């Protein structure tokens, strides 16, 4: 009997009507002779609401209590779901993470799962039961409730699939899969049937918000098959696997973008050992993205450009200005930039992708400010006002429609 982990996101369990629908969906898997472990997120909006409540008590709400508070939404969703399954005549029960237990490294608000005890849940499964497990939460060795970070129920589902040795993990959400680009920006976006972990990772960390990048990485490391599907439609979803997209005849799998980037250039720094380290040392808590250094012709001076999240720009500029260990001519910055990327494992074997990319933007008179590449992606920074047009042009150029 195959063992499946079915994970439901907040919108899938958004109200009682939807929870009843989800229960019927789970029953179908059960009737088809699968063993099913259900993992649920909180009903949509609930975690945000609890987060707001903590802030109305204190902006510095005690971390350990914060985790007890925000993890509460999952308890509600799981009991409603288990209750719905029981009403359908099935054997089911909810499990809070501490009852299993799901052990974490103990960090509040951003824990990682270390171990899951499978014994009780397995014996329930073997008696035909459907366990419904809270996502997002765990318990530390000190027996304190810890959470996995916002959106962390994906991480729970992947870890549960790993420790229970599941055959597959199905992520139910409100979209029917991963698209070649954001359908809100380009109505010609198409659903991708199959994508590799690496490609998905690039797509996810570059702005497609379907799944947490760290969870995709975990799934990749543990070889867990993932299916992303919509709770509300019968369409087949997107499969994430480790098969290289050889079956995928397209060179490019998708185009992703982020809008809220900022770009900083430190102009005229010395081209000598220790300079980059000197610039970035005080920025160790900042989420840096692209870092580009131009090479100096004569070993004299050079420029270092990097991109960050727009909200960090003031902090970063202050840190740079306060840094007495570096000397430079000036700092220039631009917080109205966007990053657009083409992603595809097909690039590894196909030359000329970069040229095609740059030409398409040139034809549209869109200036490229920064370029960075990896084996399976090319990203550029452009003026934010061109982003929607760039998405459309590249989508067409790379034959995605």
Site for ligand ASP in 152-171 (CB under 6 A): 152-153
| Stretch of residues binding ligand ASP (CB under 6 A), selected from 151-159, 220-228, 293-301, 347-355 | 151-159
The helix (run of H) or strand (run of E) holding residue 65 is helix 63-70
Chain centroid to Cα 23, Å, comes to 26
Q: What CA–CA distance (Å, rounded) separates 306 from 304?
A: 7
Q: Please, which of residues 106-135 interact with ligand ASP by CB under 6 A?
A: 135
- Whichever of 14 and 346 has its CB closer to ligand ASP, that residue is 14
CB of 46 to ligand ASP, least distance (A): 7
Least separation in angstroms between CB 41 and Mg ion: 5
Q: Does 237 bind ligand ASP (CB under 6 A)?
A: no
- Min CB(126)–Mg ion separation in Å: 30
Concatenate the DSSP letters of all residues of 155-176 into one string.
HHHHHHHHHTT-SEEEEEESSS
- Sort residue 301 into left (φ over 0), alpha (ψ -120 to 50) or beta: beta
Which of 66, 95, 108, 136 forms a contact with ligand ASP (CB under 6 A)?
136
Distance CA 311, CA 300 (A): 33
Closest CB 182 distance from Mg ion, rounded Å:
18
Stretch that binds ligand ASP, among 30-38, 41-49, 173-181, 318-326 (CB under 6 A): 41-49
Whole-angstrom distance, CA of residue 108 vs CA of residue 267: 40
**Min separation Cβ 52 and ligand ASP, Å:** 12
Cβ proximity of 264 and 214 under 8 Å: no
Closest CA to 206 of 341, 388, 72, 401: 341
By CB under 6 A, residue 41 contacts ligand ASP: yes
Q: Is 306 in the site for ligand ASP (CB under 6 A)?
A: no
Instruction: Give the residue at shortest CB distance from Mg ion.
Output: 10
In the complex, which residues of this chain contact Mg ion (CB under 5 A)?
9-10, 41
Q: What is the dihedral of CA 5, 238, 391, 10, to 10 degrees?
A: -30
150 binds ligand ASP (CB under 6 A): yes
136, interface contact from Mg ion, ligand ASP, none, CB < 5-8 Å by kind: ligand ASP
Stated as kind and residue range, the H or E segment containing 52 is helix 46-57
378: left (phi over 0), alpha (psi -120 to 50) or beta: beta
Under rule CB under 6 A, residue 146 binds ligand ASP:
no
Interacting residue ranges for ligand ASP, rule: CB under 6 A: 10, 41-42, 47, 73, 135-136, 150-153
């Amino acid at each position: 009997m195959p063992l499946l982990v079915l994970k439901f996101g907040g919108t899938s369990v958004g109200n009682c009507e939807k929870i009843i629908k989800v229960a019927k969906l789970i029953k179908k898997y059960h009737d088809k002779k699968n063993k099913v472990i259900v993992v649920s997120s909180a009903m949509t909006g609930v975690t945000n609401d609890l987060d707001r409540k903590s802030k109305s008590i204190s902006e510095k709400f005690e971390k350990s209590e914060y985790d007890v508070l925000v993890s509460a939404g999952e308890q509600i969703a799981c009991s409603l779901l288990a209750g719905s399954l029981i009403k359908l005549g099935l054997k089911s029960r909810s499990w809070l993470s501490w009852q299993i237990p799901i052990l974490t490294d103990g960090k509040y608000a951003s824990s990682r799962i270390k171990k899951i005890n499978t014994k009780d849940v397995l014996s329930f499964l073997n008696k035909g039961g459907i366990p419904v497990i809270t996502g997002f939460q765990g318990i530390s060795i000190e027996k304190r409730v810890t959470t996995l970070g916002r959106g962390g129920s994906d991480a729970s589902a992947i870890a549960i699939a790993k420790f229970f040795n599941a055959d597959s993990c199905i992520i139910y959400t409100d979209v029917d899969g991963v698209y070649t680009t954001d359908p809100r920006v380009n109505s010609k976006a198409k659903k991708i049937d199959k994508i590799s972990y690496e490609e998905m990772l690039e797509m996810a960390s570059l702005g497609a918000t379907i799944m947490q990048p760290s969870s995709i990485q975990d799934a990749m490391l543990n070889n867990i098959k993932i299916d992303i599907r919509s709770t509300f439609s019968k369409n087949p979803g997107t499969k994430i696997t480790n098969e290289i997209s050889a079956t995928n005849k397209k060179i490019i799998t998708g185009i992703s973008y982020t809008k809220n980037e900022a770009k900083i250039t430190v102009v005229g720094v010395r081209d000598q050992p220790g300079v980059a380290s000197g610039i970035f040392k005080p920025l160790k808590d900042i989420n840096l993205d692209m870092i580009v250094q131009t090479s100096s012709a004569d070993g004299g001076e050079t420029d270092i450009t990097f991109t960050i999240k727009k909200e960090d720009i003031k902090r970063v500029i202050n840190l740079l200005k306060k840094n007495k260990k570096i000397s430079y001519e000036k700092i220039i910055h631009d917080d109205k930039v966007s990053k657009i990327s083409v992603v595809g494992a097909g690039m590894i074997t196909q030359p000329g992708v970069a040229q095609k990319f740059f030409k398409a933007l040139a034809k549209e008179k869109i200036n490229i400010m920064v370029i960075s590449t990896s084996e399976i992606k090319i990203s550029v920074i452009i003026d934010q006002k061109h982003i929607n047009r760039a998405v459309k042009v590249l989508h067409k150029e790379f034959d995605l429609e």
